[in-house]
Amino acid sequence: MYLVVLGVLFLAMKVAAFGPVADWPYWAVLLPFGGAVVWWTYADKSGWTQRQAMDKMEARKDARRRKNLDALGLGDKGRRRP
Q: Within a domain: residue 77?
A: no
Q: Within a domain: residue 14?
A: yes
Q: What is the pTM of this model?
A: 0.63
SS (H, E, C) 17-70: CCCHHHHCCHHHHHHHHHHHHHHHHHHHHHCHHHHHHHHHHHHHHHHHHHHHHH
Question: pLDDT for 8-66, tens place per residue?
Answer: 999 999 999 999 999 999 999 999 999 999 999 998 889 888 888 899 999 999 999 99
Q: Within a domain: residue 58?
A: yes
In this prediction, residue 61 carries a pLDDT of 95
Residue type for position 15:
V
Band (pLDDT 50/70/90 cuts) for residue 75 is confident
Domain that holds residue 47: 2-72
Q: Within a domain: residue 9?
A: yes
